[in-house]
């Protein structure tokens, strides 16, 4: 029984430490609002679609995450490496997968 109390004290202390750290460091970077996030995603979408039209592979690669995977409506998977190739061949049309 004594071990259980020690374990509970340990976890309670760990929780208190985590809560203190969260409170202490929460002011380092203010959280973006939902509207800010929506505006950022919308702007990136416009930039990406324009990059596809212009075959601007550098911009497309800058915008997409390295682990990006698109699954189309028919179940076909495409990675970050696949999309610029398709764009240059004319196989990818912006907005075609929405």
Which domains can be identified in the chain, with CATH numbers?
36-93 (3.10.450.50)
Q: Which single residue is written with the structure tokens 């390295």?
A: 66
> Could you tell me which of 25, 88, 91, 23 has the C-alpha nearest to residue 60?
88
pLDDT in tens, the chain (98 residues): 454 455 556 555 555 555 555 555 555 556 678 888 899 999 999 998 898 888 888 998 999 999 999 898 999 999 998 876 776 665 555 555 44
- The torsion of the CA quartet 57, 62, 63, 69, rounded to 10 degrees, works out to 80
The pLDDT of residue 63 is 92
Neighbours of 50 (CB within 10 A): 13
The pLDDT of residue 97 is 44
| Residue 74, both tokens | 């028919």
Total-model pTM: 0.54
């Amino acid at each position: 029984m004594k071990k259980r109390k020690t374990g509970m004290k340990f976890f309670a202390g760990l929780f208190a430490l985590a809560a203190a750290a969260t409170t202490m460091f929460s002011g380092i970077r203010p959280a973006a609002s939902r509207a800010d996030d929506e505006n950022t995603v919308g702007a990136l979408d416009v930039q990406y679609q324009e990059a596809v039209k212009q075959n601007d592979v550098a911009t497309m690669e800058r915008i997409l995450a390295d682990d990006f995977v698109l699954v189309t409506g028919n179940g076909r998977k495409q990675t970050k490496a696949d999309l610029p190739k398709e764009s240059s061949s004319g196989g990818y049309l912006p907005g075609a997968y929405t």
